[in-house]
Structure 1
Amino acid sequence: MFVTAVALMIVAVLLAGPVPIWLATADWPARSPAVALVLWQAIALAGGLSMIGSLLSFGLIPFGENLFEGIRSLAGHLVTGTLPAGTSFGSVLLLCAALILGSHLLLNLAATFSRAGRQHRRHRHLIGLLSDPLPSHSGTRVIEHDAPVAYCLPGATRSATVLSRGLLQLLNADQLRAVIAHERAHLLQQHHLVLLAFKSWHSALPWFPIANRAENAVALLVEMLADDQARRVVDDRTLATAIALVGSAHEVDPLGTDVELADGPDHPFDLVTPRVRRLITPPAPLTPSAVLFVAAGAAALLLLPTLLLSLA
């Protein structure tokens, strides 16, 4: 049990610092954003499981020789209100920490999705009242706003792409098709679910610097994925021009929950420049062997803590 707890702690430390820092600063994710997104999700899941599993394994050492025996013994002692010989305050503290951390992450995830659902429903209701349909594009609504704005509103049964009058006046027909294809890619690929999960992680651990780095990196990757879908509709230069024109005026929350104007140097993260650069000078995609290597690494990250806990 002790060896397993130490191994899980090492994995948790690596996934809390060096690995995500390396991934966030690497150049290759722009070459294959879908593969990089899978890796980010594996890092987040494996990191959380390793962190909770390490605390749990350390705390269960006095209760048994392996994880399952320790959990059964702990349940029995909770019923009788006793503790086994050799149980220290530190063991109890670690068990409480594992319970609190796991509960905090799960409850925060549920609260984030619930809050986003309410915001989306309220936003869709307001858009229905304050916008008009765009006849040439089904599922697209136009709001009377001078700034160029484009975002998507996901929904279980009804989704919408929202454009502003200012955007329609700014872009030509090809650029407008690119923007609409980009926003619809967000809806089709359910990017809001991934973004909400990482938003939840960041809000649950706001003091954890890697959570902020991960949320920013994932937000950029889903924008690149939507760009790749739009590239099937228009050429790269047209899409890059549309992104630059719209992005220079504002930045939209990818979840469609808030529409905020950029505030210059205080703006938290640049989702425009890397995408325009990627379209102007497209990097070569990862080779099939590199994709397989990264996918295998993501699978190994997910399996490692699970195997360590099962073998404890």
Structure 2
Amino acid sequence: MLVVAAVLGVLAFALAWPVPVALSRAAWPARSPAVALVLWQAIAVSGGLSMIGCLLIYGAAPAGSLIGAWNALVPVLFTGPIPPEFDVLELAAIVLAAGLALHLALNLALTAVRAERERRRQHQLIALLGDPMPGQPSTRVLAHPTPLAYCVPGIRTATVLTDGLVDALSPAELAAVIAHERAHLDQLHHLVLLAFRAWHSALPWFPIANRSERSVILLAEMLADDRARRVAGDDALRGAMLVVGADAGPAGLGDDGVIADADMLEARLARLDGGFGGGPARGLVLAASVALVTIPLLGYALVLTDATPV
């Protein structure tokens, strides 16, 4: 079991630092944002499973299997005594693994509840303050001079524009903006972003959590840009991006995590100008994503019931 724990520990370290850092600096995700987004999700899932599994399997090693450790420890959890084969480090590893798993799960649930509460509030506000846009279903226009566009997901979806934006854009540019926001809704980007926002919230001291959320936000924007390009063309999208992003500030954090900024806008504009080289083979990246998730699951399966050499 210690061999399995060591393998998962090495994988957890790699996915916590060098692999995400390298991916966040790579140029190819801009050419294949959908594939890169799958890889980021695989890194997050595999990293979490590996961190928890490394601690849990190390702690369960004296019993020879996870089930064996469960059977040995749970019955004496409140009554004692703890079996003598488990020392302090092994018990601490089990407690840390359970605490980490609970911490991540609770943060995901809390982030989801907060997001749903905010979505309901936004739907109420735009229903009260916005006017339907003729010819554009589920689209509301707010009376505000700042050029702004965003979407509100949920069972009821809404695309929200300001009249300052409508006045500033040409018909083609406006079509690009609407297509961009609807792509976010159709492709359920809010669910992907929710998971990474929860990860960042759970591990705010972890620099890679910020880097991962930022990269995923940028990839989601690029995917939505692709829809807008097909609908309205590159020139219309570029013009709309320059208007909407005119007030973009420096990189930073908002109340709900990473916020889009001027650097992201610059990367999206560079992509429109063809400023990135070709990407790797899609099949290779997808295979690597599957392998990343499979390795920790296989590790759990190997030590679930059968004793392995320590």
| Shorter-chain TM-score above 0.5 | yes
Whole-angstrom distance in 2 between the partners of 1:301 and 1:269 = 33
- Indicate which of 192, 210, 213 corresponds to 1:212: 210
Asked whether the equivalents of residues 27 and 277 of structure 2 are also in contact (C-alpha less than 8 Å), the reply is: no
**1:275 equivalent in alignment to 2:263:** no
2:2 corresponds in structure 1 to 2
2:27 corresponds in structure 1 to 27
Indicate the structure whose relative CO is greater, using CA pairs within 8 Å and at least 6 residues apart: 2
Q: What displacement does 1:310 show?
A: 1.1
Whole-angstrom distance in 2 between the partners of 1:37 and 1:53 = 24
User: What is the CA deviation profile of residues 138-183 of structure 1, one whole-angstrom value per residue up to 9, with x for unaligned ones?
Assistant: 1110001111000000012x11000001101111100000000000
Within a 5 Å distance, the mapping from 1:169-184 to structure 2 comes to 169-184=167-182
Deviating above 6 A after TM superposition, structure 1's stretches of 4 or more consecutive aligned residues are: none
Instruction: Give the 3-state SS of the residue equivalent to 1:83 in structure 2.
Output: coil
Structure 1 length as normaliser, TM-score?
Answer: 0.91
**1:67 equivalent in alignment to 2:66:** yes
Q: 1:282 to 1:232 in 2, by over 3 A?
A: farther
Whole-angstrom distance in 2 between the partners of 1:282 and 1:124 = 38
Within a 5 Å distance, the mapping from 1:38-117 to structure 2 comes to 38-62=38-62, 64-78=63-77, 80-117=79-116
Unaligned runs of at least 5 residues, structure 2:
250-254, 304-310
Q: What displacement does 1:237 show?
A: 1.9
Q: 1:248 to 1:268 in 2, by over 3 A?
A: closer
Whole-angstrom distance in 2 between the partners of 1:172 and 1:282 = 26
Asked whether the equivalents of residues 148 and 250 of structure 1 are also in contact (C-alpha less than 8 Å), the reply is: no
Relative to structure 2, which stretch is displaced further, 274-283 or 217-226? 274-283
User: What is the CA deviation profile of residues 227-271 of structure 1, one whole-angstrom value per residue up to 9, with x for unaligned ones?
Assistant: 0111111111221121122101247xxxxx98x9x9xxxx86732
Instruction: Give the 3-state SS of the residue equivalent to 1:248 in structure 2.
Output: helix
Whole-angstrom distance in 1 between the partners of 2:248 and 2:129 = 20
Q: Give aligned pairs, total.
A: 297
Q: What displacement does 1:103 show?
A: 0.2
Amino acid of the structure 1 residue aligned with 2:288:
G
Whole-angstrom distance in 1 between the partners of 2:261 and 2:171 = 31
Output the aligned Cα RMSD. 1.9
2:160 corresponds in structure 1 to 162
Asked whether the equivalents of residues 46 and 305 of structure 1 are also in contact (C-alpha less than 8 Å), the reply is: yes
Relative to structure 2, which stretch is displaced further, 131-140 or 79-88? 79-88
Whole-angstrom distance in 1 between the partners of 2:215 and 2:262 = 10
2:307 corresponds in structure 1 to none
Structure 2 length as normaliser, TM-score?
Answer: 0.91
Q: What displacement does 1:282 show?
A: 6.0
Unaligned runs of at least 5 residues, structure 1:
252-256
Asked whether the equivalents of residues 55 and 94 of structure 2 are also in contact (C-alpha less than 8 Å), the reply is: yes
Q: What displacement does 1:8 show?
A: 0.8
Q: 1:33 to 1:275 in 2, by over 3 A?
A: same
Amino acid of the structure 2 residue aligned with 1:31:
R
Amino acid of the structure 2 residue aligned with 1:114:
V
